[in-house]
Amino acid sequence: MDYRNTAAVIEVDEVPEQLSEPMTDSESLLLERIRQGDEGAFTQLVSGHLSSVVNLAYRMLGDRQEAEDLAQEAFLRLHRSLPSFRGDCRIKTWLYKVVSRLVIDHIRREQVRRRIFFFRKHEDDPDPVANFADPSASPSDQLLGQETRQKLFKAMEKLSGRQRAVFVLRHQEGLPLKEIAQVLHLKEGTVKAHLHRAVQCIRQEFTDQEEVTS
């Protein structure tokens, strides 16, 4: 049987509207306190999610400072949209959405900017990949090894924001592709294509000698 024709890979299904689990009672309570002007409650929300938000952005961007700035913006947007926040997804899912969209937006602008200033690039300009050699990396990164990190981020550099977001959300955060489709507001078939492209790119970086393309 030629299952290439019947494969579920190139789906054109509708973007799923409601998939993620709804907010827990304690989350609703926390949001209610914030809506009533309880600053402590907002502080609690931020400190509870700060590390994961910064890390999510860092993994997509490879730059700690940018990741922190973007995390800030994500929390501010959450705060600002609280009045209209319906609470039909977990806070974490909401933050995934905002961070991913901010990152995608940021990368798209950076890529255009780089195209504009490409001609000015000089041999003694810092290598963008070198920026990824972040001295403030976590202890687990020391295990990862400098070379691996550089290769990984070099591969990420070649990907679009959406492709990076899909890979980080699936590979690192373990989010099912259906949910990623919802988070990024993409069709599931598109998400699958992005994941495949990201995996190809990363494997190419790691195994030059191996045949990795299809």
Closest CA to 60 of 171, 185, 214: 171
Task: Choose between 29 and 76: whose C-beta lies nearer to another protein.
Answer: 76
Of 88 and 127, which CB lies nearer to another protein in the complex structure?
88
Q: Tell me, what DSSP letter sits at residue 22? A: P
SS3 label, residue 186:
coil
CA nearest to 65, candidates 127, 136, 149, 126: 136
**Which two structure tokens, joined as six digits, stand for 51?**
């590390």
30 versus 102: smaller Cβ distance to another protein: 102
* Residue among 26 and 119 whose Cβ is closer to another protein: 119
Q: How far is CA 7 from the centre of its chain?
A: 27
Residue 62 to residues 122, 161, 176: CA-CA distances in angstroms? 22, 12, 23
Residue number with CB closer to another protein (116 or 125): 116
Q: Least Å distance between CB 21 and another protein?
A: 16
DSSP code of residue 119: G
Smallest gap, in angstroms, from Cβ of residue 42 to another protein?
6
For another protein, the closer of residues 115 and 124 by Cβ is 115
Q: Dig out the tokens for 213 from the structure.
A: 């393309």
Shortest Cβ distance from residue 177 to another protein (Å)? Answer: 5
Tell me how far apart the alpha carbons of residues 20 and 4 are, in angstroms, rounded to a whole number. Answer: 30
64: number of Cβ within 10 Å:
17
**How many other C-beta atoms can be found within 10 angstroms of the C-beta atom of residue 136?**
8
